[in-house]
Structures are given as structure tokens and as C-alpha cells.
Amino acid sequence: MKQNIAELLHKRSDLSEYLVHFTRDRGNGSARDALMQILASGVIEARSNLGLAKELAEEFPGALEAAGLGQKCCCFTETPLEHCWSMVQDIAGRSRQFKPFGIVFSKDFGMKNALNPVWYLNTTQGTDHLTTPVLNIIESCRGHLEAGSKIGTKQDQSGEVLTQPRFEILRIAPGKSRGVVGIG
């Protein structure tokens, strides 16, 4: 009898049906305070610029967001729940230190609320067939911004919509609820 792939995946211990958002201490409060704020507001906000265009977003504040190409992310892990303890350990070289406070969603809830997985690009020399084109687009975008131009779509004098398609590939997040995950 043929097996259902969903049922088989649910039996694998290396895959999780859940997404976990851990909180961390910040200058304005503790990780526990952050969790309480999420629970009170029903919202997880994307606050940190991450990804290959992070520096560009920080160099030209607001420019990418105005075109719907913001780099702010809120992070979730697919670590199986029984291994989440490892995510709050003091790990050498880690840029963020998470605390044992967080919130868990089913992946199904995440998909219904426009959460997308991170797209990892291999940056190992010789395997940059995806990284190089993305970096070229980012540099082209930088040149465009340095010249004082805006990114996105615009209309010419006749009302025809003109686009700058080289930048459209940077739009990899869904259009709805950018930067905010509602949990209420």
C-alpha cells in the first residue's frame, strides 16, 4: 500500500511540525518582557535587518521599505521541540543570544499567516551560482539609490506603468502583513 507523504513526514524525529520564536534581552527590556509584550499585543514585529541586502537597507534607511523590499525579519526555528533547549545555550560566534522564552506556532498556522522559510544561499567559493546574481542585483540597487532614484514602479507622463525589473527579484516576501505576524 502506498504511503501518504504527510503521514511519513510527521513520523520523522528530525522534522518539526512547529515554528518557535525565541525572545532575547534588548536594551529596553528582558526576554521575558518581550514575550509578555508579544502576548499582550498579539503581534511579533520584524525589527532587525537581515540577509544579503542588510547593509544596503541600513545605508539607505526606508528606501527599500518604500518599495516593499524591506529586509526586516522576525526569526523562527524549526528545531524539534525536544531539542529547543539547545537554541538558548551560549553558542560561540552567535550574533544573537536567545533566552528560554518564546512562542510556538504550528507550521500550518505559519503558512496561513504568510511566514516564509529563509532561503539559504551557499557562499562557499566555487558554489556561488545563486549568490553572485543576487549580490549583483543588490549592487545595482545601491548604484540606483546613490544616483538619487527610487526603487519600484512608477508611471510615465502617459500613465503607463514603468518598472525596474532588476529589483523585483528582491521581493521574496509575501505582500500581506509585511513585518508583522498577528497571533491573536
Q: What is the mean pLDDT of residues 118-132?
A: 76
- Is the distance from CB of 100 to CB of 91 less than 8 angstroms? no
Residues in the chain: 184
DSSP state of 85: G
| pLDDT score for 183 | 52
Q: Residue 46: beta bridge partners?
A: none
Q: Is 62 left (phi over 0), alpha (psi -120 to 50) or beta?
A: left
Structure-model confidence comparison of residues 17 and 36, the more confident one = 36
Reported confidence tier of residue 174, pLDDT bands at 50, 70, 90: very low
Query: Beta strands 48-49 and 161-163: pairing type?
Result: unpaired
| pLDDT score for 99 | 94
| pLDDT score for 127 | 75
Q: Which amino acid is at 99?
A: K
Q: What is the mean pLDDT of residues 30-39?
A: 94
| pLDDT score for 41 | 92
- Is the distance from CB of 140 to CB of 54 less than 8 angstroms? no
pLDDT at 58 over 50: yes
User: Which residues are within 8 A (CB) of 87 and not within 5 positions of it... i.e. 6 or more apart?
Assistant: 20, 22, 77, 79, 98
Sign of CA dihedral 38, 63, 176, 106: negative
Reported confidence tier of residue 156, pLDDT bands at 50, 70, 90: low
pLDDT at 158 over 80: no
**How many CB atoms lie under 10 A from the CB of residue 159?**
6
Task: Give the chain's mean pLDDT.
Answer: 79
pLDDT at 20 over 80: yes
DSSP state of 44: E
